[in-house]
Structure 1
Amino acid sequence: MLQRIRLLLFPVLCLTLLPGAVATSQGDASRPVIFPTLSVETLARTKLNLPSEFAGKVNLLLIYFEPEQARAADTWMPAAEALQHMNFNFRYYKMPVSGPENLIFRWWDSSSLRSVETDPETWPWVVPLYVNKQDFRRALNIPNEKDVVALLVNRSGQVLWRSSGPLSEEKKAALSNAVTTATR
């Protein structure tokens, strides 16, 4: 008898709950993607509250999840540096992403990154993120951790443009156009 009641109630529950779930997922697709609010520390040991304390009117975020992806992120650097020299409203950040580790790991990881980024002038622009990676990816609509992700965001954290993988000529032109459009 109980099983029969469950079988009868299941379709009713589905019909009741499904429209709300569909409406929610459709509503999410129309909302802009926003960089999550985070308190972080740069390699220069400067504390930042992101996204409000991004230095540029528009900011290129080079996000990567594995140390091996740093090379792909570095392919973006000549274009990012050139844009920064030509447009004072533009800044770039390299953001290696790790899980929410303890303080000892964070100290060790940041020290290791400083030994790789040997020019202290670059340290303010390298921002290690220690976050729940799945939640972070979900917030930014990053489907996986396989490639470096390039996001152009404004000071509100709204994603204005995105790409992934190493830089190509097509991506370089698209980034330049997006920066020009966003800084007008």
Structure 2
Amino acid sequence: RWHQDWVDSWIPTAQQLAATYPGLRYYELPTLPQMNPFARMSIDFGMKMGIPDRAAREATITLYIDKDRYRSALEIPSEESITLLLVEPSGKILWRAEGPYAQDTARQLGAVIQLYFAPSASA
């Protein structure tokens, strides 16, 4: 649960960037181990009730997966931090960082997004 404070520290930046770049979407992906449908339903209901803001609920997708394979595939070393990823629609990871909000990290993210959404020279 302590991860949530770190996640929440990034929400204002994510909202501001999404407002600036209409094609940009952000998601919070809580990852939990695989479990039976009844347990998932209970957790999903609890999470829905625990997230009063509709936009935040819509941006939250709970993953019930093999967490070790997930971390390995995304090269996430551990669960001791949170991982931020900027991902193209194709799945290519353009940028990554870890940890709670930091102004320098937010500036780096903004710069990468600005480059990605910049009009191409041929346009």
TM-score by length of 2: 0.92
Give the CA deviation at 1:172. Answer: 0.7
Aligned to 1:182: 116
Which of the residues 28, 53, 63 maps onto 1:119? Answer: 53
Match of 2:77 among 123, 126, 143: 143
Partner SS, residue 31 of structure 2: strand
Q: Which runs of 5+ in 1 are unaligned?
A: 1-66
- Asked if 1:103 is matched to 2:29, the reply is no
1:122 positional shift: 2.4
- Where does structure 1 differ by over 4 angstroms across 4 or more consecutive aligned residues? none
Q: Distance in 2 between matches of 1:159 and 1:122?
A: 23
Aligned letter for 2:102? S
Alignment partners' CA distance in 1, 2:81 and 2:49: 23
Residue type of the alignment partner of 2:58: P
Give the stretch that moved more between structures: 75-84 or 104-113.
104-113
Please name the residue that 1:154 is paired with: 88
1:1-184 maps to which residues of 2 (within 5 A)?
Answer: 67-184=1-118
CA distance in 2 between partners of 1:141 and 1:107 (Å): 29
What CA distance in whole angstroms lies between the structure 2 residues aligned with 1:153 and 1:121? 20
Q: Deviations over 1:33-64 (max 9, x none)?
A: xxxxxxxxxxxxxxxxxxxxxxxxxxxxxxxx
Aligned pair count? 118
What is the percentage of aligned positions where both structures have the same residue?
27
RMSD of the TM alignment (CA)? 0.9
* Bigger proportion of residues as strand: 1
Secondary structure of 2:81's aligned partner:
coil
Q: Which residue of 1 aligns with 2:121?
A: none
Q: Which amino acid in 2 is paired with 1:141?
A: E
- Structure 1 counterpart SS, 2:28: strand
SS of 1:91's equivalent? coil
Matching residue's letter, 2:65: V
